[in-house]
Amino acid sequence: MDLFENNKSIKKNEPLAIKYLPKRLEEFVGQEHILGKEKLLRRAIEADKLSSVIFHGPSGCGKSSLVKVIANMTSAYFQEINAVISGVDELRKIVYQAEKRDKKTILLVDEIHHFNKSQQDCLLPSVEKGIITLIGITTENPYFYINTALLSRSLVFEFKKLDEADLNKIINRVADELKIHFLKEAVNHLVKYCEGDARRLLNAVEIGYTTTEKDKDGFVEFTLNVAEESIQKRVITYDKKGDGHYDTISAYIKSMRSGNVEDALYWLAKMLLAGEEPRFIARRQVIFASEDIGNNDPMAIVLATSVLKAVEFVGMPEARIPLSQATIYLARAKKSKEAYLKISESMEKVENEKIVDVPEELKNK
């Protein structure tokens, strides 16, 4: 079954990311951990028995695309709103109309993390009674933004960045459809720097395709240079799963440990430009703040944990700024490994020496 066979009739001037939206589950790429054969979510969609769900994950991984598939497959009345612009009055109207309807209503709430408590409370009774089947989609952690009552009445599914195989599948099918000859290094570059985001990948392919002349056979030669121009990223040698990953983070940590601010910032910049996960770097900063600084500067752990939260909240590219702030502070802070060494010694004692009973004067009496 051709992934794009249903898209032939779509207007030619539509962006590729819209043109190639899936219409059926068979056309959907990725998220096998929740949509694989016999998985609960897939069975619920196929049987048109979907209960309220929250889809969360990074941009371009298929949350909205899957909702479009559900809308195409369901016999229920489907309605879509955006949490940014929809207020309580609109929600009350939607609930009232759903109550009068003979069939089930599925309500998609895009960017549901923008809903305040009043908006969420307005939906809760109708979700609880089954009048409305809620589909909430968000790029944020729903456990931070959606109230417990609404979460307890929904199934939460995490969408993950598309992996290399998924992205290659998309590229191969676009290549066949549009008559594009992708050079191997161009494919590697696109896959690497779209960072698991299918929308970003398709946008880059579209820019390269529409701005490159076709050869005499009607094909577009998609070279590394075209790929770099299309996705606006230079090739930086860095293997996130190999030695480059561990060597670079090691250089970053050792530069901070030695107090070399400029070197630490260089390695930070290299990781970020190479597509390293910002939360990975922020977590290493938290560890460094306790392991290498500790009580010599208690503000170090406060700043590091705040930066971790900021990184999760704002995302890239803005996350580079708090990461830089923490890097400079941690590199300049006075160092101490006391916390790390003392707990290591104590754990070794517990593991290797006779267990000491709690003295009477220290017991809970």
Return the pLDDT at 1. Answer: 33
Return the pLDDT at 3. Answer: 40
Summarize pLDDT for 223-260 with one digit per residue, the tens: 998 888 888 655 565 656 555 678 889 999 999 999 99
Which backbone phi and psi does 55 adopt, to 5 degrees? -105, 125
Residue 125: is it exposed, middle or buried by C-beta count within 10 angstroms (0-12/13-18/19+)? exposed
Q: Which tokens sit at 76?
A: 């229920």
- Give me the CATH topology for the region 31-158: Rossmann fold (3.40.50)
Summarize pLDDT for 285-311 with one digit per residue, the tens: 999 999 999 999 999 999 999 999 999
Q: Is the pLDDT of residue 9 over 60?
A: no
Return the pLDDT at 15. Answer: 83
Domain positions in the chain: 31-158, 164-231, 243-340
Q: What is the dihedral of CA 89, 94, 99, 103, to 10 degrees?
A: 180
- How many Å apart are CA 63 and CA 110, to the nearest integer? 10
Return the pLDDT at 4. Answer: 40
- The pairing of strands 180-182 and 77-82 is unpaired
**Helix or strand or coil: residue 132?**
strand
pTM (whole model) above 0.75: no
* Mean pLDDT on 102-114: 89
In CATH, what number does 243-340 get?
1.20.272.10
31-158 and 243-340, same CATH topology:
no
Cis peptide bond N-terminal to 317, omega within 30:
yes
Query: Does the domain made of 164-231 have the CATH classification 3.40.630.30?
Result: no
